[in-house]
Amino acid sequence: MRVAVIQLSSQDNVADNLVRVRQRVEQAATRGAQLIALPENFAFMGSEDAKRKVAESISDPGPIVQTLLELARKHDVHLVAGGFPEQSDDVQRPYNCSLMVNASGVVAAYRKIHLFDVSLADGTAIQESAATSPGSEPVVASALGVGVGMTVCYDLRFPELFRRLIDAAARIVTVPAAFTMTTGKDHWHVLLRARAIENQVYILAPAQHGKHPLGRQTYGKSVIIDPWGDVIAQVSEGEGIAVAELDFAYQDRVRASLPCLSHRKI
């Protein structure tokens, strides 16, 4: 399977962000990608009040979901759309939803379970739960017959979620993110490689990069990592894409030669 991760620097204008999404998805599809992953907040990165106003329903799609469906049909790809504000029962707290779509429509929706409530040493303070409803169910979708576990950003720090995805036959895990500069430079690659190694899975981690409204700054360094923990493709600075071939026969050999998943006792 040929896959791609897209790195963006999304701002607070949905229409402008979707123009860049279209351009990058077309670029990835032209390079033969069959599964393409967008970062968290790909369509909007701004104030919480404005986020509530752009929240959409999957069953009655607005411009964000309509664009995703159109791109999947046009390029005949599976598209994992990072995290976007999806309407919930609480209008003040939409879900942070990662949506997988293909040419036939919506494949799966994962609502971010672990919400980012932190005060960092550099002064960054984020209280995601104040304006976001948490999801509750792990999701493994199918892309071209391959199990794809879906996560969003802060979920990366919870290895028990990844174990649930592996138990549900995930061979790939997507980790769309908007990691802060502070946590990204110290933890992003370390955690991604650890999740790949301990679960012997491919990791697709598209990320936000650069400066955003309200003083936010994200780390970038979108990567594709193999089941041995090697980085096989990475985006450098700025917006861009990384493409790689996933070899599931190689994954089988890794799991057979070091059968740690079958050695689990807990």
Catalytic, out of 51, 86, 97, 112:
112
How many angstroms separate the CA atoms of 239 and 9, rounded? 6
Q: How far is CA 104 from CA 43, 86, 184, 264, in A?
A: 22, 20, 36, 38
Q: What are phi and psi of 44, to 5 degrees?
A: -160, 130
Asked if 260 is an active-site residue, the reply is: no
Q: Is 40 marked active-site?
A: yes
Given 51, 128, 153, 239, the catalytic residue: 153
Query: Is 51 annotated in the active site?
Result: no
Compute the distance between CA of residue 239 and CA of residue 220 in angstroms, rounded to an integer: 9
Instruction: Name the CA dihedral angle for 241, 200, 101, 77, rounded to a multiple of 10 degrees.
Output: 50
Tell how strand 172-174 and strand 146-150 pair up.
parallel
Phi then psi dihedrals of residue 175, to 5 deg? -130, 70
Radius of gyration of the chain (CA): 17
List the catalytic residue out of 40, 56, 128, 239.
Answer: 40
Question: Catalytic residue positions?
Answer: 40, 112, 153
